[in-house]
Amino acid sequence: MAKQKTAYVCTDCGADYPRWQGQCSECKAWNTITEVRLGATPSRGAVRTGFAGLTESKVQTLSEVDLQQVPRFSSTFSELDRVLGGGIVPGSAILIGGSPGAGKSTLLLQTMCKLSETMPALYVTGEESLQQVAMRAQRLNLPTNKLRMLAETSVEVITQLADQEKPKIMVIDSIQVMHLADIQSAPGSVSQVRETAAYLTRYAKQNNVAIFMVGHVTKDGSLAGPKVLEHCIDCSIILDGDSDSRYRTLRGTKNRFGAVNELGVFAMMGDGMKEVKNPSAIFLSRGEEHGSGSVVLTVWEGTRPLLVEIQALVDSSQLSNPRRVAVGTEQNRLALLLAVLHRHGGLMLGDQDVFVNVVGGVKVTETGSDLALLLAIVSSYRDHLLPRDMIVFGEVGLSGEIRPVPNGGDRINEAAKHGFKRAIVPIANVPKNPPAGMQVQGVKNIAEALELL
């Protein structure tokens, strides 16, 4: 009989230790290390069973690998297909996370009900009863005649019943409540989440079934559970959105079949999630009254440009340490740009409070927003109105130079489609043939950009 192994795992960060200790050396948390019993390791001569379609492994050269592309199928939502890289790949394991109430279950239920009309689909719920799911589907007016449902938390039972149903796509809601009989710890623990996710991922690939796993998030917005959970799956996407806003953004953080950081936008309506075909029109819903400190930025999200408005407010500070607040962008980047503005732009804001906000709840992480952020700060500080029909993008270096950004021509063309007439861009991004009616001005450094204002 194989010996059962014991490990000590931190429930916060997932770090493993050979023996118990009071404080985790990785995350510095106290009393978070618990004892878990690992499943017995099979002997070297043991035969692996339990999965259909197992084949004998063999070594082959890279040139012998079949390059026939795996056919994708649509999820019936073009925004979800965009984030997934063009559709759902058979045999892939997809992890979708988000805060409570973001709409994860609603989006997947809509997708599964529509896909069940054309292919076998199985929806496994471990957190809700079948009556609760049916009530939601009825409220959303979804077709429910062909979608197969299962209320179960045992992964062994789920895969056994899936062998009988033979679905092409399956949803596990959620991975934190699933458990394996060989693991003695409680559902939701580090070892259970790690082993159940690996078990389902192997099942997906060996049976050519696309599996969506719903994952919980922590208070800081990251996926709960061990980091190996994100390593073993093929695609990881986050559904984000504030409770006071009806718009939800779906962003891919890992994708083995497409581009990462792809963005999809949905609107939570009374009858479910609706796609937003033109996100720039929503994020540019500016009021009639135009004030200083506001400028439109063209960011590149995945494979498409997106127009968002960035606002800045500079006010005299009454504190010894003026505040630097950034919403929707990195606060450390803001401090860096203020230092560059002082050194190479001649503006000292050491006694001013600086507040920056990206309108619409979009999170801008690319460095192409540097120039727009600086111009918005200068506009608010000098109380100088910027033209409403102007867009700005460009990266700012520590020596004050304006560096080019990728896909500059596509950004300018997208702005021209929305009626913008002027653009301040890095001189290397100035197109040879700008769009008709668009005045594109290239700048080399911060001094030239400030002169244009």
List per-residue pLDDT tens for the chain, 453 residues long: 445 567 788 877 778 888 888 888 888 888 888 777 665 444 444 344 444 444 467 888 988 877 676 789 999 999 999 999 999 999 999 999 988 888 999 999 999 999 999 999 999 999 999 999 999 999 999 999 999 999 999 999 999 999 999 999 999 998 999 999 888 788 888 888 989 999 999 999 999 999 999 998 887 777 777 778 888 899 999 998 766 678 888 988 899 988 888 888 898 888 899 998 888 877 776 666 678 899 999 998 877 888 999 999 999 998 889 999 999 899 999 999 999 999 999 899 989 999 999 987 778 888 999 999 999 999 999 999 999 899 999 999 999 999 999 999 999 999 998 889 999 999 999 998 889 889 999 999 999 999 887
Range of the domain at 350: 282-452
| pLDDT number for residue 286 | 61
Based on the fold, state whether residues 255 and 321 are members of the same structural domain. Answer: no
Based on the fold, state whether residues 232 and 300 are members of the same structural domain. Answer: no
SS3 of the chain: the string is CCCCEEEEEECCCCCEECCCCCECCCCCCECCEEEEEECCCCCCCCCCCCCCCCCCCCCCCHHHCCCCCCCCECCCCHHHHHHHCCCECCCCEEEEEECCCCCHHHHHHHHHHHHCCCCCEEEEECCCCHHHHHHHHHHCCCCCCCCEEEECCEHHHHHHHHHHHCCCEEEEECHHHCECCCCCCCCCCHHHHHHHHHHHHHHHHHHCCEEEEEECECCCCCECCCCHHHHHCCEEEEEECCCCCCEEEEEEEEECCCCCCCEEEEEEECCEEEECCCHHHHHCCCCCCCCCCEEEEEEEECCEEEEEEEEEEEEECCCCCCCEEEECCCHHHHHHHHHHHHHHHCCCCCCEEEEEEECCCCCCCCHHHHHHHHHHHHHHHHCCCCCCCEEECCEECCCCEEECCCCHHHHHHHHHHCCCCEEEEEHHHCCCCCCCCCEEEEECEHHHHHHHC
Residue 65 lies in a domain: no
Domain count, the chain: 3
Based on the fold, state whether residues 238 and 340 are members of the same structural domain. Answer: no
| pLDDT number for residue 53 | 43
| pLDDT number for residue 69 | 66
Residue 55 lies in a domain: no
Residue 62 lies in a domain: no
Provide the CATH number for the domain around residue 437. 3.30.230.10
Q: Which of 277, 295, 322 is the last residue of a domain?
A: 277
Q: Which of 254, 277, 300 is the last residue of a domain?
A: 277
Residue 342 lies in a domain: yes
| pLDDT number for residue 41 | 44
Provide the CATH number for the domain around residue 119. 3.40.50.300
Based on the fold, state whether residues 319 and 392 are members of the same structural domain. Answer: yes
Residue 348 lies in a domain: yes
Based on the fold, state whether residues 297 and 163 are members of the same structural domain. Answer: no
Residue 50 lies in a domain: no
Based on the fold, state whether residues 312 and 247 are members of the same structural domain. Answer: no
Based on the fold, state whether residues 225 and 131 are members of the same structural domain. Answer: yes
Residue 58 lies in a domain: no
Based on the fold, state whether residues 298 and 399 are members of the same structural domain. Answer: yes
Residue 124 lies in a domain: yes
Based on the fold, state whether residues 188 and 305 are members of the same structural domain. Answer: no
pTM (two decimals): 0.74
Based on the fold, state whether residues 235 and 364 are members of the same structural domain. Answer: no
Based on the fold, state whether residues 203 and 305 are members of the same structural domain. Answer: no
Based on the fold, state whether residues 268 and 338 are members of the same structural domain. Answer: no
Q: Which of 277, 308, 340 is the last residue of a domain?
A: 277
